[in-house]
Amino acid sequence: MRSRLVLVCGLVLSGGACGGTPAAIPDGDLAAITDGGIVSCTIVQFESGGQTATLCLEVPESGGQTLQQSCSPSAMGAPVDAGTVTFTNGPCSRADALGACRASVDGLLEDRWYYGSGGDSGTSVFGQTASDIQTLCTGMSEAYLSP
């Protein structure tokens, strides 16, 4: 199950293109950078032992229609019992966030927030820490955003 959450990288908006050059990707709040609203898609995946793994994709409102069409279990290729997928007119929650990777996908900024839910304090269900998420982002040539 871990690979599904980690590999969501850009799949929703680009059909699979990941990465970018961190120096060309601005830091800061997505709403302030894009001068508009934000929409998001939260994916909660059920894991063994009643734990959950959570990922949230966040894009400027201008990419909202594409994200909304992709924000469903069937569009993501997830089994019906895999968890929940929820579209929201607003940003991803920062509660329990370990950090985000920011990519520029077809000219649109996309933040993928990873969470510590389901694991020990400060870690994800997979034992990931904020440092692990930063390493993940760097490895994909994307900018890391702290919560």
Structure tokens at 107: 């000219």
For the chain (147 residues), the mean pLDDT of every run of 10, in chain order, is 38 41 53 73 79 85 86 69 82 90 86 79 72 93 90
Annotated domain spans of the chain: 2-145
Provide the whole-model pTM. Answer: 0.74
| Chain CA centroid to CA 59, Å | 10
Closest Cα to residue 112, out of 37, 52, 53? 53
* Rounded Cα–Cα distance for residues 103 and 89 (Å): 20
Question: 97 to each of 36, 109, 119, 123, how far by Cα in Å?
Answer: 23, 19, 12, 10
Phi, psi of 139 (to 5 degrees): -65, -25
The identity of residue 21, as a single letter, is T
Structure tokens at 60: 């400027």
